[in-house]
């Protein structure tokens, strides 16, 4: 099990979207909710970075600081979700692409240990829901 440094909690609303239109929110509303949570996460990451100083990522392939990771999240990934909202883009493929970018960012190894530190767990499961 990886040691996640942060958690992006989306489970309380992620399940409300249904591509068949049967859900409680649209893809645009889902994009806005994800963007809002990302904004909060950026603040949390920057706060940790400021408290601990600039922590260098040990993985040679990702020689960035935690602060740089927050910049990437804010400038690259957050922008994808905000653009979906601003343009009222209902294309599920574009939303899926934004989520893939978020997952890739979140799964960055922060050390060289097996099952070591990873940047962020992105939780899309509703609390208490059993997953088989």
Answer whether 93's CB lies under 8 Å from 101's CB: no
Average pLDDT over residues 32-45: 96
Burial of 131 (0-12, 13-18, 19+ CB in 10 A): exposed
- pLDDT given at position 50: 66
Copy the structure tokens of residue 56: 């260098």
pLDDT bin (cut points 50, 70, 90) of residue 1 is low
Q: Which pTM value belongs to this model?
A: 0.84
């Amino acid at each position: 099990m990886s040691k996640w440094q942060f958690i992006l909690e989306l489970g309380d609303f992620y399940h409300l979207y249904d591509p068949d239109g049967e859900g409680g929110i649209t893809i645009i509303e889902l994009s806005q909710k994800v963007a809002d949570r990302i904004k909060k996460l950026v603040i949390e990451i920057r706060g940790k970075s400021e408290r601990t100083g600039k922590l260098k990522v040990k993985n040679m392939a990702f020689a960035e600081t935690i602060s740089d990771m927050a910049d990437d999240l804010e400038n690259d990934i957050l922008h994808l979700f905000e653009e979906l909202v601003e343009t009222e883009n209902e294309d599920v493929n574009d939303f899926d692409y934004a989520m893939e970018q978020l997952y890739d960012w979140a799964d960055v190894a922060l050390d060289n240990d097996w099952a070591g530190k990873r940047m962020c767990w992105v939780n899309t499961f509703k609390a208490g829901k059993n997953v088989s």
